[in-house]
Structure 1
Amino acid sequence: MSDKCPVDHSAASSSSKCPVDHTAPASSADACPVDHSARSTWASLNLPHSSSSPPTPIPSSTPSLLSQDREISSIPRGASDASQAEGEHKWVYPSEAQFYAAMARKGHNPRANDMRVVVPIHNAVNERAWFDVMRWERGRGGEACGGVRLISFKGRPKDVSPKARVLSLLGYSLPFDRHDWIVDRCGTRVRYVIDFYTGSGPGASFYLDARPALDGWEGLITLHY
């Protein structure tokens, strides 16, 4: 388990969307690597508002005031070709407006003002998760084909991983969210399990436990060698 940090959205242009039931169908090749089934949990985790001067609330009925800007991640997509424009070979994070719209559509009653905090946290946790995955992948041969790429992902907040279950029996807290990421290592697919835990400190504090899933030879080899 390591470090702090944090994690989702709707659709904007047809060229860069998240494949998780937003406002419009999107290509799975151009999206953010985060499933949105645990969105309400992320949004409720002690957002660090100022105690001296609370921010002026943005009316929930006017999400158009939220930023439409999106950030290109550092995470390579699992499919690319020579015709893609600059940035299209990376997964794309949601804008504040997209994140808000997706939460509202699922009935989570978001606060527009919180998006200024939640979205950067969401982006940072994905970057940290990819960093942890790449530590496992280092020296495994992905460099031979241009690097390891993320090809699919799934949020599984209700499915406790075996490791997390064992740790809970030893007195540790259960993770509040779980994602399964599948990466492509030069044609070999490897599944990673990422458990998300709340930190013990004040504010929005998180730490991750990312490791290869033990459901195949590649996962076993990556974990033990």
Structure 2
Amino acid sequence: MGSSLSTPGASNANDRPAVAATLPPAGCPMHRKLEDATANVSPPPSAETNIDPRNNIPSLSQNPAYGQTIALPLERMRSSIPRTLSDLSTASEHESASTCPMARGGPSRTTEETKDTWVYPSPQQFYNALVRKGWETPVQAIPVMVDIHNWMNEAVWQEVLRWERRYFNPKQSNLALEPEEIPEVSLARFQGRPQDLSPKARFHMLLGRIFPNVYSELPPFDRHDWMVRRDGWGAEEQDKLHRYVIDYYSGADDEDGNPVFHFDVRPAIDDLDSLTARLQEWARIKRETWLGEEQSSITKDAKINN
């Protein structure tokens, strides 16, 4: 990993932070599709399956999947990621969790907009989601996959906060604020878009064909769009949502043989402010690369090994 996690610049491995792990973060569509999904796939869901409007994913039960012979944990971990909750999207404890990257949870809310944190699906719900999509997944590997999946989402959220504090902070445009001085940001909803290449990913694939020794032409194996809300940043931000795009790439194995993944987090260019932030970040990265300026501690390498 490195300071270039969120840069709109080059797409080589040095320009995106890497997470080393023994297994892929398979909660999202990160496994190969089964050619013949039969015995390991549960029967088709009924028409009454509830769809979570926050991610367009059916709610999943804690029951074992059809044909499952190994029991999986039912415990769910609460993330550190604040969620935006309004009267249009309430949650209650009895509701089943959805899948990647996080699920709803916590007491119900019926009045004004309130913040809570997102809750990750249990290993059983995680597995049910993969089975539903037809992904080939060894049941015994699910707990480790869930741990890596959750860790990656936490790392992505830290990158979102880095962008917000550095470029969109109404109080001070740097990272040196005390925690109580940092305006609050919450995740309102998200969407997995593995089949939709982002413009940046397309551009990097083109560069990979032209400059194969510098860029990679391999596409990301997954993409997420996260919608965040800036709370307490002024009346003009009260009802606005801001989109972030996250591309996930596979990298070469590390020196210990662990697979490596890169994720590229940046604000979508949906407005002039986001475009300005992207250009400023590109310039910052190039200064560090060309002039050898010191990296921010937030963007230095972070790697986990199992």
The TM-score with structure 1 as length reference comes to 0.70
Alpha-carbon distance, 1:220 to partner: 1.8
Alpha-carbon distance, 1:27 to partner: 5.8
Alpha-carbon distance, 1:8 to partner: 3.7
Conserved? CA contact 1:7–1:126, under 8 Å: no
Q: Does 1:216 align with 2:267?
A: no
| Gap regions ≥5 residues in structure 1 | 10-20, 37-58
| Gap regions ≥5 residues in structure 2 | 1-15, 29-44, 58-65, 88-105, 108-114, 171-179, 209-215, 232-237, 281-306
CA distance in 2, matches of 1:95, 1:28: 20
Alpha-carbon distance, 1:61 to partner: 2.2
AA matched with 1:118: M
Alignment of 1:98-113 (within 5 A): 98-113=125-140
Conserved? CA contact 1:60–1:112, under 8 Å: no
CA distance in 2, matches of 1:7, 1:128: 16
Q: Does 1:198 align with 2:235?
A: no
Q: Does 1:71 align with 2:77?
A: yes
Segment of structure 1 superposing worse, 178-187 or 199-208: 199-208
Task: Write the deviation string for residues 65-122 of structure 1: whole angstroms up to 9, x where unpaired.
Answer: 11001110111001279xx65xx81011011111111222232243210102211111
CA distance in 2, matches of 1:138, 1:164: 25
Q: Which residue of 1 aligns with 2:68?
A: 61
Conserved? CA contact 1:133–1:211, under 8 Å: yes
CA distance in 1, matches of 2:192, 2:268: 15
Alpha-carbon distance change, 165 to 199 in structure 1, aligned in 2, over 3 angstroms: same
Alignment of 1:129-144 (within 5 A): 129-139=156-166, 140-141=168-169
Alpha-carbon distance change, 7 to 149 in structure 1, aligned in 2, over 3 angstroms: farther
For residue 179 of structure 1, the aligned residue among 205, 224, 240 is 224
Q: Does 1:25 align with 2:31?
A: no
Alpha-carbon distance change, 27 to 178 in structure 1, aligned in 2, over 3 angstroms: closer
The TM-score with structure 2 as length reference comes to 0.52
Q: Find runs of 4+ consecutive structure 1 residues off by over 6 angstroms.
A: 142-145
Alpha-carbon distance change, 7 to 144 in structure 1, aligned in 2, over 3 angstroms: farther
- Percent identity between the two aligned chains: 41
Task: Write the deviation string for residues 120-159 of structure 1: whole angstroms up to 9, x where unpaired.
Answer: 1110111111111111001523777951001111111111
For residue 116 of structure 2, the aligned residue among 85, 89, 108 is 89
Alpha-carbon distance change, 103 to 27 in structure 1, aligned in 2, over 3 angstroms: closer
For residue 2 of structure 1, the aligned residue among 12, 17, 20 is 17
SS of residue paired to 2:19 = coil
For residue 148 of structure 1, the aligned residue among 174, 181, 185 is 185
Q: How many positions carry a matched residue from both structures?
A: 185
Conserved? CA contact 2:226–2:244, under 8 Å: yes
Larger CA Rg, structure 1 vs 2: 2
